[in-house]
Structure 1
Amino acid sequence: MSKTFHLHLVSDATGETVHGLARACVSQFEDVDPVEHTWSMVRTRTQVERVIAGIEANPGVVLFTLVDETLRGLLQGACRRLQVPTIPILDPIIGAFASYLGRRSRGQPGRQHALDAEYFHRIDAMTYALVHDDGQGLWNLDAADVVLTGVSRTSKTPTAMYLANRGIKAANVPIVPGVPPPDELFTTTHPLVVGLTKDPESLVQIRRQRLRMIQDHEGGDYVDLEAVRQEIAFVRRMCAEHRWPVIDVTRRSIEETAATIMQLLARRQGMASAAGPQ
């Protein structure tokens, strides 16, 4: 029987940091079901008081990233009164940086979301991924950092979008049975081309779910196990012929697949730097 508990995620910015860390921690426990209460953009006393009222109504663990000392003190004092645990998740990291660098932190909310050059670089990468999704925009495929290729339902689009959110320009080119892959996939020279594959049985199940969602009761070769095996074998042969790395995404999350691609990209860029100008 799973244990249900209230989990309050309090942030003075968008809440992405505290939400991601909370998910990572909760995933380490079996049979727990957190009821998440997300409180984002908390930057005034009135907003903190609303958070406290919410915690009082549903007591539970409180994770927060507030950097303003007055607001932190208000929240922590109330939580002590309510006898609920509060965890300032950034404190150990900021403290370690401050000690190592010999400097105080700014204590300014939302600095990671400042409109700097890195922010606009990510937006540019997101735009590129959208324009070059599902084989579109082949005319400037060479502008990509990474090109993902593979058969249908191997998570090419979400992986490309995740990479784009990290500032990496990613295009994806699907391999469709009976349709020759586009020439641009083979003539591009700048991007790292990565093939994505999946276990045939798992892929068939996912495709059948997809067909049910769109109320398509036919399917044909799209969900025929032998035909799917041939699709995957074709992609593997193609990647081997062009010496493109292949990632089996069967038991990988989008984040894990993206992390492997980023490692491959870093290794490739490192080798290019070591080689120097030609």
Structure 2
Amino acid sequence: MAAALVGGALLSSFLNVLFERLATREFVNFIRGKKADKWLQKMKNQLLVVKVVLDDAEKKQITDSNIKEWLDLLSDVVYEVDDILDEVSTKAATQKKVSYSFCDLFKKKKIVSKLEDIVGRLDDILKQKESLGLKLNEAENDQPPEPQPTSLEGRYGMYGRDKDKEAIMKLVSEDSSDSEAVSVISIVGMGGVGKTTLARSVYNDDKLTQIFDLKAWVRVSDRFDIVKVTKAMLEEITQKPCTLSGLNSIQHDLLDKLKGKRFLIVLDDVWIEDCDFLSQLAMKV
């Protein structure tokens, strides 16, 4: 598949295809695991960085042989990512006919090892982009920002996650019965598996109006800014703009609004390294 598509300006288009395939259910289910998730997410981040300098590289390769060589190295890595996806697709189709076995576990470990190797090679490739003078894709910068999911439910609703929702609703109800307790419930998984959809379904359930005095939905994203996130939480709770600028003042104002009340705050798109902030907040309230 890669051999037919990768070449010249088509590499950028092929990366889009890779991102779609990396988010498919069959790949996510097969590769699922703490170590696998770590390497897969890092590889996705690296490919996103590649994508924003790709247009500049493809233009300059005509007159700069070093950039042409850089693109060749990048193409080789892309071939291997595509090969891994083909391997997983074949394995997923086989698993529909036979049960999961020790061989499958061994195969998964081999794929995780390949991902780790690809991440290392991509890291080396990306270190060269500054010395090659590659610039950000201007067309990419001109595009409108990526849509941010909100608490409003989508037109298609949620399917196949009823048991997951019931389990979370039970946790929410039990935790809220103790007025002195503040709990953090995590919905963890790779991108594209429906974490936001599941949280949104719980957030909009009518039963919660009988449990909580306050609700707030805040999107965190990959660039964690504690001041921005805390301010957004306060503005969601009060439904008023926050004019404070210092983190200490914002936190004290937020805690003042939350004390003595039962509240549900959904922080969407939180990365694992940012969870210390949630624990700190829970301890202070």
Q: TM-score by structure 2 length?
A: 0.27
Higher relative contact order (CA 8 A, sep 6+): 2
Q: Which has the larger radius of gyration?
A: 1
* Higher strand proportion (structure 1 or 2): 1
* Higher helix proportion (structure 1 or 2): 2
